[in-house]
Amino acid sequence: MSENRRVLIFSQARLLEPLSKYHSDAPSQFTQVLDILQAILKHRRIKYLLLTGSTAVDVRQSLVDEFNEDDSITVFLLSTKAGGMGINLTSASVVVMFDQDFNPHNDRQAQDRAYRIGQKRDVEVVKLITRGTVEEDMLKLGQMKLDLDEAVAGDSDEQDSKVENEMKKSLMKTLRQKFEDESESVADGSGPEALGSPLTDMEVD
């Protein structure tokens, strides 16, 4: 890792590609993005640690201590929610948000792991956003939510739950509109052959 910078990588995403396509004895039909990142780090022989929701509670602090004390470990992979609260990772100076949570406060809490008391270096936060996708809408809505919370100077778990649902509904509405626009362009002969909207039967909790 250049400049001796150490990195926290947060992700919550699951890919919809069934593992059984590659392994007949796969324990789950989905693969975590963190699994893919682990494979890449192993291939490149980069030392790393992993902390997810399935990591035993009594093991989590020992992983944090190991990362903070061993400079040869340059990457810490964490699931956004499991690694976003109650831990101090000030030995890292780069935070990568591989994907976004519907509740922007979860992402903010994850980023704050490197901003705890004792941090002596500037911290760089990198958010990976794919241009022209719903991720851009999530980023805008999330920032609006954070700005609104700062404006009213207060927040609650119930409000977080409500805004998360509102964000999901808004994103689904945006996606549906995009599919409808594409369908209209196909109908008037200005677009490619319509494949139908996969969102027609989807529901938002």
Q: Report the alpha-carbon distance of residue 205 to residue 92 in Å, rounded.
A: 36
Question: d(Cα 76, Cα 8) in Å, to the nearest integer?
Answer: 5
Higher-scoring residue by pLDDT: 26, 83: 83
Q: What is the pLDDT of residue 84?
A: 62
Q: Are strands 94-97 and 124-127 parallel, antiparallel or unpaired?
A: parallel
Whole-angstrom distance, CA of residue 125 vs CA of residue 109: 12
Higher pLDDT, 165 or 107: 107
| Bridge partner list, 15 | 31
Look at residue 163 in the predicted model and tell me its pLDDT: 63
Note the pTM of the prediction, 2 decimals: 0.64
Q: What is the Cα–Cα distance from 129 to 100, expressed in whole angstroms?
A: 9
pLDDT at 43 over 90: yes
Query: Which are the contacts of 101, defined by CB distance < 8 A and separation ≥ 6?
Result: 12, 80, 81, 107
CA–CA distance, 110 with 155 (Å, rounded to integer): 17
More confident residue, 27 or 8: 8
User: Buried b / exposed e across 3-38, counting CB within 10 Å, b at 16+?
Assistant: eeebbbbbbbbeeeeebeeeeeeeeeeebbbbbebe
What's the pLDDT band for 139 if we cut at 50, 70, 90?
A: confident
* Residue of 156 and 145 predicted with greater confidence: 145
Q: What confidence tens digit (pLDDT) does each residue in 100-116 have?
A: 887 888 888 888 887 76
CA 60 to chain centre: 20
Residue 85 pLDDT grade (very low, low, confident, very high; cuts 50, 70, 90): low
The residue with greater pLDDT, 22 or 166, is 166
What pLDDT was estimated at residue 70? 94
Q: Where are the domains of the chain?
A: 2-127, 134-187
How many Cβ atoms are within 10 Å of 127's Cβ, its own excluded?
15
CATH code assigned to 2-127:
3.40.50.300
